[in-house]
């Protein structure tokens, strides 16, 4: 019995020792797994922070790209407007050149016809001969004038193409006349002219520092010192302007006169830039 009891005690002690060893090993393994999970957690947190920074940069870059895209679209729209304006002006000048060409051809045909009639009646009457000579000279002069206008307008078209974009007047019209009862009335005779009314439209609303002046020239290129004494206030939201050139006291001779428009902008160091011209006729 004593030996049996001793064996039982030894077995109990052995089993208890084995249980404690197994428990200690389990605790060590769990602690190792816990440490490993902590390391993984820290690693994931670091990766998450980096991903947040990357996301912030991506959002910032997206905002910048969207802003750049908007600015590009605005620039594209602005260029399209300028292109449309240039095409419109070019079409108008092409139409004007075509009209002058037709007038030139018509004047040429008329001159040829008159020359033929002149040859036929040359033997009949010296009086008719003199009259036909005068008419032929007048038609030839008008034909040459129209041809010169065609050349000038073509040069203006080419100059406008080179200087786009910019501020240019179009639909320029000059009408000689006089002020009667505070109202403008068209007059073509030299002795009755008191005022030249000039109207035009701009390709765009003028800037704050933009000003336009005008000069009058006769057929020989002589400058007339006229003074602008009637002018509408500049409306920056409008493209329409009207000005009156006071010409009282000036002795007019029959013929064709030219009005040239010049643009000034001191902020852009721009002075006396010729931007347009028009013509009018004074009769005897």
Average pLDDT, the chain: 77
Q: Which distant-in-sequence residues (6+ apart) come within 8 Å of 173 by Cβ?
A: 198, 199, 200, 278
Q: Residue 165: is the preceding peptide bond cis (ω within 30°)?
A: yes
Task: Provide the percentage of residues in the chain whose pLDDT is more than 70.
Answer: 78
Angle between helices 2-121 and 126-163 (to 10 degrees): 170
- Entry field: residues in the chain: 284
How far is Cα of residue 264 from the mean position of the Cα atoms in its chain?
A: 18
pLDDT tens profile 227-274: 654 444 444 444 455 566 666 567 788 888 898 888 888 888 888 888
Question: Does the predicted model carry a pTM greater than 0.85?
Answer: no
pLDDT at 233: 44
Cα 232 from Cα 155, distance rounded (Å)? 30
Q: Mapping DSSP to helix (H, G, I), strand (E, B) and coil, where does residue 173 land?
A: strand
Looking only at the bridges linking them, the beta strands covering 240-246 and 255-265 are unpaired
Only one residue has tokens 């033997």, namely 123
Specify whether the CB–CB gap between 229 and 246 falls below 8 A: yes
| Burial (Cβ within 10 Å: 0-12, 13-18, ≥19) of residue 265 | middle
Residue with the larger pLDDT of the pair 154 and 190: 190
CATH code: domain 166-284 is 2.60.40.10
Q: Where are the domains of the chain?
A: 76-165, 166-284
Give me the torsion for CA of 180, 184, 189, 192, rounded to 10°.
40
Cα 258 from Cα 272, distance rounded (Å)? 16
Looking only at the bridges linking them, the beta strands covering 183-186 and 169-180 are antiparallel
Task: Provide the percentage of residues in the chain whose pLDDT is more than 90.
Answer: 0
pLDDT tens profile 169-194: 778 888 888 877 778 788 888 888 88
Give the CA distances from residue 274 to residues 115, 149, 162, 262, in Å, rounded to whole numbers and listed in that order: 40, 16, 13, 4
pLDDT tens profile 80-103: 888 888 888 888 888 888 888 888
The residues that bridge with 278 in the sheet, in sequence order, are 259
pLDDT at 178: 83
Residue with the larger pLDDT of the pair 143 and 161: 143
């Amino acid at each position: 019995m004593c030996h049996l009891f001793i064996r039982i005690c030894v077995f109990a002690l052995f089993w208890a020792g084995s249980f404690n060893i197994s428990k200690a090993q389990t605790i060590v393994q769990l602690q190792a797994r816990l440490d490993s999970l902590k390391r993984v957690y820290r690693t994931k947190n670091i990766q998450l922070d980096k991903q947040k920074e990357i996301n912030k940069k991506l959002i910032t870059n997206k905002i910048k790209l969207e802003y750049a895209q908007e600015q590009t679209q605005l620039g594209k729209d602005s260029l399209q407007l300028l292109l449309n304006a240039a095409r419109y002006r070019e079409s108008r000048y092409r139409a004007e050149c075509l009209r002058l060409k037709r007038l030139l051809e018509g004047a040429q045909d008329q001159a040829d016809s008159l020359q033929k009639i002149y040859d036929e009646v040359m033997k009949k009457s010296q009086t008719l001969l003199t009259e036909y000579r005068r008419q032929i000279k007048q038609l030839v002069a008008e034909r040459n004038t129209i041809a010169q206008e065609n050349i000038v307008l073509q040069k203006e078209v080419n100059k406008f193409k080179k200087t786009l974009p910019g501020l240019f007047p179009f639909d320029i019209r000059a009408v000689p006349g006089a002020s009667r009862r505070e109202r403008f009335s068209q007059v073509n005779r030299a002795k009755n002219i008191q005022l030249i009314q000039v109207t035009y439209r701009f390709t765009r609303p003028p800037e704050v520092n933009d000003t336009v002046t005008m000069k009058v020239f006769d057929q020989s290129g002589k400058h007339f010192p006229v003074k602008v004494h009637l002018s509408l206030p500049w409306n920056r939201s409008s493209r329409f302007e009207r000005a009156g050139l006071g010409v009282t006291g000036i002795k007019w001779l029959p013929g064709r006169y030219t009005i040239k428009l010049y643009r000034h902008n001191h902020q852009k160091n721009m002075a006396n830039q010729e931007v347009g011209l028009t013509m009018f006729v004074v009769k005897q």
